[in-house]
Structure formats: structure tokens, C-alpha cells
Amino acid sequence: NCYLFNGDIADRGKFAVEIFVLAVGWMLTFPNAVFINRGNHEDILVNTSRCGGFYDECITKYPSAGRVIFEAFGKLFAELPLAHLFGPSRAKILVVHGGLPRVPSQFISTLKHMGVRGPTIPMRTCTMAEVCVKDCLWSDPKETAGTDVSTRGASLIQFGPDITLGFCHQELIGLIVRSHEVPPTGEGFSFMHQNR
């Protein structure tokens, strides 16, 4: 069996530190069976903001070493992969926390050749690699065609079914799995963009 945590372990309740340590322990013990993708909450700026809480958890639980522990998690966040691609051609499954970038034709190639990433997600982007990092952690699908500014912020995007279908056709991908949003029903999962 294969298990993939698709980001946002940080900032998820009172025991996020313990859950993260447990997941990393499994990943190190079973390197061919347990994987962790980076989510938008695996970011030290998000962790210290009003929507975070992971920093406060580290400081509260470990008063004398909390800052060092938090900084160590920041180094771990920078090393986590942004996506996983599984399966044979035309049936490949792309698992990414957020979604597709504004330049989907360069997404897979950019991810494969990406250099060092930092413990924060770049919101002001200068390179294609920075755009890919931000978009694959923060972008969301929408029902209408094209790309639009996201309701989450002016530098973020939403992508339509035409973007998804074109990307899947070009890269021979059968399904994109993401976990950045709670489904409209509030539980389980939902399909969009012709079930892709």
C-alpha cells in the first residue's frame, strides 16, 4: 500500500507537531510507501499569521526549544515535494495540494528541474519556478473557462475546466487530486472539470 499526505499537516489542531513527527517517522521508516507533499500551511509565514497556529503550538509545548524546533520544521517544509505523479501514461494521477499554475505547459518540467526552495512560499514571484511553487500550493479550480484572480488574494489564481483538460491532454494525465479546499458538501471529496 501507498500513503500520501497531501499537505497542510501544520496548523491543523492541537497535535499538529506530533502528527507531523509521526508522519515523517513513517516516511523515513517506509520510504517507498509513505509520502508527504507540501501544502500552503507548510510555510513559516503562514504558521505565524492569524490563519496559522503551528508556531504558537511549538512555543507553547516546548518553551525552551520551541523556536529551534519551529525553525527545523521550516527547513523540513522547504524539502517536501510539491507534487507526486503516479501510474502509467494516460492513467497517470497528479497529486498536488493546490492546483495548476498559470502556465500549465511548463509545470511538470519546472517541478522536475526546480532548485532549492525556501521555508516560505514566494508571493512576489520573479521566476517560473516561484510561480509554480505559489500556484501549485494556492490555486483553486473554478467552473468557468480560463484563469481569474482568486478570492484568496490578488496574486493568486483560479483555473477553469479548459485549463485542466488541456493540461491533462498535454501531459497524458488521467486525474488530478488536490486537497486545498473543503468539498462543497463539507465532507469526503468532490469531482470537477469533467471528473478530472
Residues catalogued as catalytic: 41
* Cα–Cα distance measured from residue 60 to residue 45, given in angstroms and rounded to the nearest whole number: 18
* Cα–Cα distance measured from residue 158 to residue 151, given in angstroms and rounded to the nearest whole number: 8
Long-range pairs, 112-115, Cβ under 8 A, ≥24: 114/82
CB distance 58 to 17 below 8 Å: yes
List helix spans (H) across the chain.
Answer: 16-29, 44-47, 54-61, 66-79, 107-112, 128-138, 161-171
CB distance 158 to 139 below 8 Å: yes
H-helix or E-strand containing 3? strand 3-6
